[in-house]
Amino acid sequence: MRAHRPRRLARPRPLAAHAGSRRLADRGSSVNVLRIATYNLHKGRGLDGRVNVARIADVIAEIDADVVALQEVATPGDDPQAFDQLRYFAERLGYHAAFGRARSGRGCVYGNATLSRRPFASVSPLNITVPRRTGRGALRTDLALDAGVLHVFNVHLGLGYLERRDQANRLFEDDALKAPDLSGARIVLGDFNEWVKGQVTKSLRREFGLTDLEAHVPRLRAFPHGLPLLHLDHIYYDHHLRVQAARTHRSRLALIASDHLPLVADFVFEGDAGV
């Protein structure tokens, strides 16, 4: 099926036009309220079988987040004519963008991407692929905010239990969540391919607080067309961060645009919140 490709890239709106930019600025120098979201866009393929990246971009715009962690994003690889989803999102919505490669195929490179209204202080892709398994990655991005440094880890774990266990162990090594240069608060979010009570989730909860679909919204029975809703997307965060609000974004468009729903949380980020 032919992918939907917009004819041209839209000019990005200035940052001041975004409500999120005002949300960052209005809190003063000691406290920031940040809207953080995670969204597996399924390469842009919706529940109707259509690949429509413009529809995904509209969902991201609806969320109005300051930082958006995306999984299963396609960028050009061997095929220079392949559509660059990340560039499209960044330019249309006015975000800074970072990308971490996970695997390649069909002329494209697939991986995790993080969008931010603030420039990135640094970007560090992490390879968490387990041998003989599908390529997986994590993407660390650092943001220098008025209240301090925020370290965002965008993660997409594998489908197998032992695979996820090995990947979780990899995340706790000294070049990832235990890196010596971590000076601020950590947020780890993405598609963990695991229920909230799984073993990997339990190990991460020993280190972090957790906001997840079940904790903050009523249990949803099903997607359209009878597909089950799996609570596989989570946001972990250092305990000194405070969640002001959290929700799944369930607009009419979001319910059809991907096989995942965006998970959105507003964090109060105070100064001197080092790890």
In a domain, 3, yes or no: no
Task: List the one residue out of 119, 172, 171, 126 whose CA is nearest residue 150.
Answer: 119
Tokens 């099903």 -> residue: 222
Alpha-carbon gap, residue 200 to 118, rounded angstroms: 31
pLDDT tens readout for residues 205-247: 888 876 654 565 555 433 343 344 456 888 999 877 888 888 8
For Cα atoms 50, 55, 59, give the angle at the middle one, nearest 5 degrees.
135
In a domain, 258, yes or no: yes
CATH classification at residue 33: 3.60.10.10
Lay out the sheet containing 263-270: strands in order across.
Answer: 96-105, 108-116, 67-76, 31-40, 263-270, 242-248
Q: What pLDDT, on a 0 to 100 scale, did the predictor assign at position 30?
A: 46
Domain limits for position 28: 18-270
In a domain, 32, yes or no: yes
Count of Cβ atoms closer than 10 Å to residue 56 Cβ: 26
Strand, coil or helix: 8: coil
% pLDDT > 90, the chain: 45
In a domain, 8, yes or no: no
**102-106, 138-142, 189-193, 197-201, range with greatest mean pLDDT:** 138-142
Backbone angles phi, psi at 55, to 5 degrees: -65, -40
**DSSP structure class, residue 51:** B
Q: What is the mean pLDDT of the chain?
A: 81
In a domain, 5, yes or no: no
In a domain, 7, yes or no: no
Instruction: Provide the domain count of the chain.
Output: 1
Q: What pLDDT, on a 0 to 100 scale, did the predictor assign at position 107?
A: 80
pTM: 0.83
